[in-house]
Structure 1
Amino acid sequence: MFYLNDFISKYVTKRADSLFIRDIEQNRDALSDHIRNSRVLVIGGAGSIGSSFIREILPFKPDALTIVDTNENALAELTRDLRSTKGLFIPGHYAPYAMDFASPVFEKMFRNQHGFDIVANFSAHKHVRSEKDIFSVEALLRNNVLHARKLLELLAEAPPREYFCVSTDKAANPVNIMGASKRIMEDVIFSYSGHFPVKTARFANVAFSNGSLPAGFMNRISKRQPLSAPLDVKRYFVSPKESGQICMLSCMLGENREIFFPKLEERQMMTFDAIAAGLLREYGYEAVRCGSEEEAVEMAGDLNAGSMKYPVYYSESDTSGEKMFEEFYTENELVDMERFYSLGVITGKRAADADKINALFLSLEAAFASDAVTKERIIAIIRAYLPNFEHIETGRSLDGKM
């Protein structure tokens, strides 16, 4: 029988135990002090990271848990999963809502609850493929940046004790709009650090998270479709459980305006083709390299039920915004590597210049109000705000590949 968590431990993270278990055990009392009897709001809680965060905080017995997500089906499945887990604490006030955090009904709900003690926001566009044209770019920036400030304005009415918003390793020296949007998001939340404590975390790819390429491998296999992956892209990976743990540690133990990241070494990086090869072996298949997507699709269409040979197509990366390596901090950021065993902390971040952020928001809104706005214009606006933003443009999108 195939167990995904066992596969991730063996082939992807190559860790039998969580990277963060030592820090959790050493800080268990502090975590309990922060979470027990607290009223918690998790936005984007039905996604891979948000739901993992929820599973990590529940054993510390919050008083109430409110979950907001636009994916109604995922919310229903999350509720079934939580209530079907033996021994898992579920607070008496448990309220999942299928709604958009930028909507008027969310504001009504928030004000009716008179705020929350802990707010964690996981709602985000996370894919580099979300910048294929001006429409996808606008949707990405509204969710990751413009609506993020709208949420912060609402929270300022009833300030939480802790606010956490997930970032990404791609925010360090960004080369794509998604990474740049998360770097701007960091500035936006830090600009509210005078109202309530704000923290974030940059971390690696979450193995087999919803919508990820490895999760796609499993979908392809279930449909007997070929696997496709880049040969030359190396990534750091954490398990789904680890993703929830690093967010919990950052949210509860981080100081105001701190950014957490995992201590991972270059030797722990994985390529996607290696994950695909391991997955096929686990299913009992022998990978057969094809010379093109067309050849791989053709071979997959001819597979019979008993065949153990499986078509794969591996190629060099040639799409816009694809960073060939990963980094968690820049040379200009102060880093504390001693406070935790498995986590580094970026410290000394200043509250961002509110006037500069306002000017950026006005420029973006004015641009999006024009029917003639282009992706190139938005990149120029972002570059004016982030001088180190070096966008990689190849003219090809991941949506043009398998």
Structure 2
Amino acid sequence: MFNLEYFIANNVTKRTKSMCNLDIAQNYEYLSKKICNKSVLVIGGAGSIGSSFIKAILQFQPSSLVVVDTNENAMTELTRDLRSTKGIYIPIDYITYPMDFASPVFKKMFLNRGGFDIVANFSAHKHVRSERDIYSIEALILNNVLNARTLLDLLAELPPEEFFCVSTDKAANPVNIMGASKRIMEDVIFSYSDKFPVKTARFANVAFSNGSLPAGFLERIQKLQPLSAPRDVKRYFVSPEESGQICLLSCILGDNRAIFFPKLTEAQMMTFASIGTALLEAHGFRVLECSSDKEAIDKAEALKNGSSLYPVHYSISDTTGEKPFEEFVTETETTDMNRYRSLGVITGKTIPDKERLEKLLKDLKHAFDKEETTKEGIISIIKAYLPNFKHIETGKSLDNRM
């Protein structure tokens, strides 16, 4: 029987145990003190990272856990997963709410509960493919930036002891609007750091996370459809367990305005094509490389008749916003690489210029209020705020790929 956790450990991260285990063990007493009997709110908690964060924090026995997510089905599965796992602690006050965190009903719930001790926000448009046209871009920036500020305004009324909002490695020297939006999000949350402690984390791809290309490989294999992946794009990977632990350590141990990231070396990068090949071999197939999506689709018909040759199309990446490599830190940022065994910390971040940030947010809102606003116009607004934003535009989208 195929075991995904075993496959990730042996073929993707090449780590049989979490890289964060020692840091958690060494800080266990402090983590317990900060979490035990505290109230916890997790926004976007039904997603891959949010649910992993929940599993990481539950071992420290918070008094209550409220999970908010717009994906009702995913929250149902989260609850079933938690309730079916041997030995996991679930507080009596555990409840899931299928709602938008920027909605009036969320505000009503938050205020009626008197706020929370620990708040973690994982709600985000996280895919480069989210950048399609002006409408998808507006939805992306609304969720990642403008609604994040709405949440922060609400938190300021009943400040939490700790606040965490997930970022991305793509926020470092961004080349796509998604990455730029998360870089702006970092400034937005840091602008509230004089009201309550805020922390974030930039980290690698989460292996087989919801909506990721490797997770898509599993769907394709189940349906006997061909695999398609870039052969030249290299990425860092962490396991689902590690993703939750990184965010937990950042949320609880991080200083105000700290940015955590995993300590990974360039040699640990992998291509999606190599993961696809290893996955097919683990399922008992041999790879049949094709020169186009069409050829791969045509040859996949033989799989229905029991063929062990699995067609794939591994191509060179040429879509908008794709970075050929990953980085967690820019040249102007200061890091502490000695504090933790598994994580580096970007330090010395200051409260951003609030007037300049406010102008950006007003410019974005004003632009979206106009019918004639274009993708190019939004890119110009962002570039005026982020001079190092070097947008890669090819005119091609991931939606044009298998």
Matched residue type, 2:204:
A
Cα deviation per residue 1:326-366 (whole Å; 9 max; x = unaligned)? 11011101100111111100001001111111100110111
* One-letter identity of the residue aligned with 1:369: D
Give CA deviations for 1:80-100 in whole Å, capped at 9, x if unaligned.
Answer: 110111111000100100000
In structure 2, give the amino acid aligned to 1:221: I
1:37-186 matches, within 5 Å, as 37-186=37-186
1:385 maps to amino acid: Y
Tell me the residue number matched to 2:9. 9
1:197 has 2:197 as partner: yes
TM-score normalised by length of structure 2 = 0.99
- In the alignment, does 2:229 pair up with 1:208? no
**Structure 2 match to 1:386:** 386
Q: Deviations over 1:212-246 (max 9, x none)?
A: 00000000000000000001000000000000000
Match of 1:317 in 2: 317
Equivalent residue of 2:350, what SS? coil
* Equivalent runs, 1:239-388 vs 2, <5 Å: 239-388=239-388
SS in 1 for 2:59: helix
Q: CA deviation at 1:303?
A: 2.5
Residue type matched to 1:66 in 2? Answer: V
SS in 2 for 1:115: coil
**Could you tell me whether the CA contact under 8 Å between 2:224 and 2:304 is conserved in 1?**
no
**Secondary structure of 2:311 counterpart:** strand
- Give 3-state SS (helix, strand or coil) of 2:95's partner: strand
How far 1:193 sits from its partner (Å)?
0.2
Q: SS at 2:378's partner residue?
A: helix
**Is the deviation greater in 218-227 or in 303-312?**
303-312
Q: What are the residue-to-residue correspondences of 1:14-29 with 2, within 5 Å?
A: 14-29=14-29
Distance in 2 between the 1:330 and 1:308 partners?
46
How much has 1:139 moved relative to structure 2? 0.3
Q: What secondary structure does 1:218 align onto?
A: helix
Contact 2:55 / 2:244 at 8 angstroms: preserved in 1?
A: yes
Counterpart secondary structure, 1:278: helix
Q: Which residue identity lines up with residue 375 of structure 1 in the other structure? A: K
Q: Deviations over 1:63-118 (max 9, x none)?
A: 00000000000000100110111111000100100000010000000000110000
1:305 deviates by: 3.7
- TM-score, normalising length: structure 1: 0.99
**Aligned AA (1:346):** I
The 3-state SS of whatever aligns with 1:156 is helix
Paired residue type of 2:268: Q
Q: Identity percentage over the alignment?
A: 68
Q: CA deviation at 1:304?
A: 2.9
Deviations 1:141-166 (A, max 9, x none): 00000000000000000000000000
Aligned partner letter, 2:227? L
Q: What do the CA deviations read for 1:157-180 (whole angstroms, capped 9, x no partner)?
A: 000000000000000000000000
Amino acid of the structure 1 residue aligned with 2:43: I
Q: Aligned-pair distance for 1:307?
A: 1.2
In structure 1, what is the Cα distance between the partners aligned to 2:234 and 2:355? 38
- The 5 Å alignment of 1:217-236 reads 217-236=217-236
- 2:39 is the counterpart of 1:34: no
Q: Distance in 1 between the 2:304 and 2:127 partners?
A: 34
What is the root-mean-square deviation of aligned Cα atoms in Å?
0.6
* 3-state secondary structure, aligned to 2:304: coil
1:162 & 1:59 partners in 2: Cα distance?
18
Task: Give me the whole-angstrom Cα distance separating, in 1, the residues matched to 2:36 and 2:305.
Answer: 52
Superposed displacement of residue 306, structure 1: 1.9
Deviations 1:226-269 (A, max 9, x none): 00000100000000000000000000000000000000000000
Distance, in Å, in 2 between the alignment partners of 1:126 and 1:390 is: 18
The 3-state SS of whatever aligns with 1:211 is coil
Q: Distance in 1 between matches of 2:362 and 2:343?
A: 37
**1: CA distance between counterparts of 2:394 and 2:30?**
48
In 1: Cα distance, 2:240 partner to 2:302 partner: 35
Q: 1:305 & 1:137 partners in 2: Cα distance?
A: 43
Q: Distance in 1 between matches of 2:235 and 2:61?
A: 34
Number of residues paired by the alignment?
402
Native 8 Å contact 2:20 2:242 kept in 1: yes
Which 4+ runs in 1 deviate beyond 3 A? none
The alpha carbon displacement at 1:302 in A equals 3.4
Assess if the C-alpha contact under 8 Å between 2:277 and 2:287 holds in 1: yes
Structure 2: runs of 5+ lacking an equivalent = none
Task: Give the whole-Å Cα distance in 1 for the aligned partners of 2:124 and 2:399.
Answer: 19
